[in-house]
Amino acid sequence: MPDPVRIEADYLIETAFDPRQAAEIMAGEQSSGTFVAVPGETPELKARAAARVERLDLVDEVAAPSLPGAGKPAGSKPVYRRAVVTLSWPMDNIGPSLPNLVATIAGNLFELKQFSGLRLLDLRLPSSFAQKYPGPKFGIDGTRRLSGVHGRPLIGTIIKPSVGLSAEATGELVGTLADAGIDFIKDDELQADGPACPFEDRVRAVMAAVNRAADRTGKKTMVAFNLTGEIDEMRRRHDFVLAQGGTCVMASVLAVGHAGMIELARHTELPIHGHRAGWGALSRNPGLGWSFPAWSKLWRLTGCDHLHVNGLANKFSESDESVITSARSLAEPLFEHAPMTTVPVFSSGQTIRQAAGTWAAVKSPDLIYTAGGGVVAHPLGIAAGVEALVEAWNAAMAGVAIETHAQGNAALAASLDAYPAQGA
Amino acid sequence: MPDPVRIEADYLIETAFDPRQAAEIMAGEQSSGTFVAVPGETPELKARAAARVERLDLVDEVAAPSLPGAGKPAGSKPVYRRAVVTLSWPMDNIGPSLPNLVATIAGNLFELKQFSGLRLLDLRLPSSFAQKYPGPKFGIDGTRRLSGVHGRPLIGTIIKPSVGLSAEATGELVGTLADAGIDFIKDDELQADGPACPFEDRVRAVMAAVNRAADRTGKKTMVAFNLTGEIDEMRRRHDFVLAQGGTCVMASVLAVGHAGMIELARHTELPIHGHRAGWGALSRNPGLGWSFPAWSKLWRLTGCDHLHVNGLANKFSESDESVITSARSLAEPLFEHAPMTTVPVFSSGQTIRQAAGTWAAVKSPDLIYTAGGGVVAHPLGIAAGVEALVEAWNAAMAGVAIETHAQGNAALAASLDAYPAQGA
């Protein structure tokens, strides 16, 4: 599909009013109009600057409003109609500016009285955005080059306990994991640069362990160090990771924000592992906020090389269907000539059991698959835990049942008992 | 109340499980724990790093879950209990870092399966945060000094149409408003630096008009120029506004983000007018996301001198009660020795009619009161529109009925017909 000439955004709306009229009010509020016509709002000006309702498809209707505060027509009992609406804006209004794009497509409109539901579903941008924002510098190719993992997912884990370990204890734990041949390790998003575990001390201890293991095995585990912080702090921490031989940095994108992530991405010489802490507030109500495919496009444009998508049969409240939609969306090109695909990161309760389902859903090995207990609680040790996950993925990609594949592999065989199938 | 030693946050939770157990899981997820105990999570480590449930008060119960995806105990039909919970964290985990505070108090917890509702209600911080973040540089005192308005609210308006006017047309409109004696004007949040109205061209045209009016009248209208953008763009735009004699800059705080706003606030020599475009996505579901008193504390700490709170009888979906709670919260001290109060900005359908109610709610003249049609649609002209609003506020502050006060004032008298009372 060619890139659009205007900015386009799709919304799920719910309204007790005529959906077309409500959509027109939304288009007005987010462009030239106000609630009432004002002096200076000429037909020429509207033709030049107004947002347009490009499309409206009715979906269904509900008897009760999904959100409080919405208005309704006077008189008879209202019905709340749901529709998918596409609005478009001329580039002349804001130019290719990511922060101003956010205020335009996702500004005051959530508060409009016309709507008892409003959710941003998707987003398509003119190619001038790709000229201003180059997107991920590394993506899957750079991640594979730096980690030395090819033809299968990167198998990873998260440093736990989330907080409380000293820098030295963290280094020891990472040493054990690196010795076990793990591909990828990440900081917890709660661990950044607190007094109990200062960033530079942690990086020094961890990279000493990683480099020691790499010298012996030839394989350097990729560690995503959480540098979330202020602009200068993030730049300084990035440079320190790079100087210590590190190969990845992590940031909580909502805690940093758009302007900060743009700045970090311009500066970075390492892949950015994007954490979505706080995402639930924007998304958990299905009639409000943002869908992941729309929201993640902002961070792909900004330059996130990896983005969290939760995992199948996760321990959180998200459905498998939602996780799959999120993961697939990261592989869809953002622009015709600049795909800006980002590596999906699967996590939360992942074991050998979700490999087949994840493969069936995304049909690609280009992902990071992180497990906590799924690695470290393996009865034959951490190395066997890593091996079992690699073999579970090999089985999935070969279309072989995990039980069959396990017959030739002690690590995977032991996993079958240690991580029983759900419902088994 | 003295500042706490630990970070404290209050949440409204809704759960089908035992609320105390659910709160403990939340505390674990946001600190040392994971869903299951892991090696290394010793009692000593937990005592040092774990979040604590400080308090739990049951509120009520509902039959159906407010949000999808929540779990429930096996067996009988669940009841969803609502409670207010206070969690606390040791400063040792993150230190006084605003971005990492966000990931800690408002991270993954919104997605926890234990909850069918989770909203951050309030926030109290140790005083070390005040040492790192100085808060608003100007506040109401600086705003009054720069605008020359004392003893009453600043009367303001918004440049409309939101987008579409050229820089020259914007300058002309501002000239008319400044000649009419208005105190404050703001850009629309959709207007930043697009090709149709470049930032520097607009500032040049607007400040020429403002300075011209000031030379004649001795009063310089404060104009909040929307500099929302990337870090370097915002710095450059700020410097340009300052060089042209401007007295305020505006940013959409959610579009810029925490790291970006911190950077802008460090750089600025002008008051920052904080716009909350996008806020509805975080707040409109009453059982999810953020309350304004909690959320605004982040931006007060960052350094926003003004923050939007919507207005009474507004055209959006927010209730008067919510608006009043928001406005009052900005006057509550953030720290014992560093109040960091921020000026509330009232807007949306404001006219002479909401002055008395707003005064009764906040009992303070320290606010910005912006009106669109409430100023420019006055039958005797814009100057009369400004005068009528000033007199409506004088009446409110003196405790005099607006009709009585209007007997001596033609501008206010004409307003009574032009802006009839709601329901009249």
Q: Is the dihedral of CA B312, B314, B320, B324 positive or negative?
A: negative
> Which residue of B34, B41, B174 to mutate against A (max A Cβ within 10 Å)?
B34
What is the per-residue pLDDT for A228? Answer: 98
* Cβ atoms of residues B294 and B125 within 8 Å: no
Q: What pLDDT, in 10s, does the model give residues A182-219?
A: 999 999 999 999 999 999 999 999 999 999 999 999 99
How much is the average pLDDT of B270-286?
98
How much is the average pLDDT of B362-381?
95
Please report which helix (H) or strand (E) contains residue A159, including its range. Answer: none
- The answer to whether A38 contacts B258, with C-beta atoms less than 8 Å apart, is no
What is the per-residue pLDDT for A423? Answer: 62
Task: Identify the band that residue B4 occupies on the pLDDT scale cut at 50, 70 and 90.
Answer: very high
Residue A422 has pLDDT above 80, yes or no: no
Q: What pLDDT, in 10s, does the model give residues B176-193?
A: 999 999 999 999 999 999
Please report, rounded to a whole number, the percentage of residues in chain A having pLDDT higher than 90.
93
CA distance B314 to A117: 19
Residue A34 has pLDDT above 70, yes or no: no
Percentage helix, strand, coil, to 5, in chain B? 40, 20, 40
Task: Please report residues of B whose CB lies closer than 8 A to that of A275.
Answer: 103
Task: Please report residues of A whose CB lies closer than 8 A to that of B97.
Answer: 192-194, 229-230, 233
Task: Specify burial of residue B118 (Cβ count, 10 A radius: 0-12, 13-18, 19+).
Answer: buried
Q: What pLDDT, in 10s, does the model give residues A256-293?
A: 999 999 999 999 999 999 999 999 999 999 999 999 99
Residue A332: CB partners within 8 Å, gap ≥ 6?
A293, A341
- The answer to whether A282 contacts B279, with C-beta atoms less than 8 Å apart, is no
Task: Please report residues of A whose CB lies closer than 8 A to that of B279.
Answer: 110-111
Which amino acid makes up residue B340?
M
How much is the average pLDDT of B355-376?
96
Which among A48, A50, A84, A78 is positioned nearest to A64, based on CA atoms? A78
Q: What pLDDT, in 10s, does the model give residues A290-330?
A: 999 999 999 999 999 999 999 999 999 999 999 999 999 99
What is the per-residue pLDDT for B50? Answer: 93
Which among A58, A54, A61, A97 is positioned nearest to A80, based on CA atoms? A61
Which amino acid makes up residue B20?
R
> Which residue of B7, B158, B162, B263 to mutate against A (max A Cβ within 10 Å)?
B162
Which among B227, B224, B263 is positioned nearest to B247, based on CA atoms? B224
**What SS3 class is residue B278?**
coil
Q: What is the mean pLDDT of chain A?
A: 96
Please report, rounded to a whole number, the percentage of residues in chain A having pLDDT higher than 70.
98
Edge-to-edge, what's the strand order for the sheet holding B288-290? B52-62, B80-89, B7-15, B117-124, B288-290
Task: Identify the band that residue B45 occupies on the pLDDT scale cut at 50, 70 and 90.
Answer: confident
What is the per-residue pLDDT for B39? Answer: 66
Residue with the bigger pLDDT between A111 and B33: it is A111
Residues in chain A, how many? 424
Please report which helix (H) or strand (E) contains residue A201, including its range. Answer: helix A199-217
Task: Please report residues of B whose CB lies closer than 8 A to that of A258.
Answer: 255-257, 260
What is the per-residue pLDDT for A157? Answer: 97
Supply φ then ψ for residue B9, to 5 degrees: -135, 140
- The answer to whether B231 contacts A263, with C-beta atoms less than 8 Å apart, is yes
Task: Identify the band that residue B36 occupies on the pLDDT scale cut at 50, 70 and 90.
Answer: low
Task: Identify the band that residue B79 occupies on the pLDDT scale cut at 50, 70 and 90.
Answer: very high
Interface size A-B, in CB pairs within 8 Å, comes to 358
Enter the ipTM.
0.97
CA distance B28 to B46: 9
Task: Identify the band that residue A227 occupies on the pLDDT scale cut at 50, 70 and 90.
Answer: very high
Q: What is the mean pLDDT of chain B?
A: 96
What is the per-residue pLDDT for A45? Answer: 86
Map out the domains of chain A with their CATH numbers.
Answer: 6-132 (3.30.70.150), 139-418 (3.20.20.110)
**Roughly what angle, to the nearest 10 degrees, separates helices A199-217 and A167-179?**
20
CA distance A350 to A315: 9
Residue A41 has pLDDT above 80, yes or no: no
Q: Extract the tokens encoding B365.
A: 């003249």
Residue B51 has pLDDT above 80, yes or no: yes
Task: Identify the band that residue A38 occupies on the pLDDT scale cut at 50, 70 and 90.
Answer: low
Task: Identify the band that residue B41 occupies on the pLDDT scale cut at 50, 70 and 90.
Answer: confident
Please report, rounded to a whole number, the percentage of residues in chain B having pLDDT higher than 90.
93
Helices (H), B340-381: 355-362, 373-376
Which among A279, A72, A196, A70 is positioned nearest to B316, based on CA atoms? A70
CA distance B60 to A230: 40
C-alpha B119: how far from its chain's center?
Answer: 17
Q: What are the DSSP E strand ranges found in B183-309?
A: 184-186, 222-226, 248-252, 272-275, 288-290, 306-308
CA distance A276 to A263: 18
Distance from CA of B217 to the nearest CA of A (A): 25
Exposure string (b/e) for A372-382, b if CB count within 10 Å is 16 or more?
bbbbbbbeeeb
Supply φ then ψ for residue A188, to 5 degrees: -70, 155
What is the per-residue pLDDT for A43? Answer: 84
Residue B3 has pLDDT above 70, yes or no: yes
Q: What pLDDT, in 10s, does the model give residues A380-408?
A: 999 999 999 999 999 999 999 999 999 98
CA distance A279 to A294: 13
Residue A39 has pLDDT above 80, yes or no: no
Minimum Cα–Cα distance from A33: chain B residue = B161
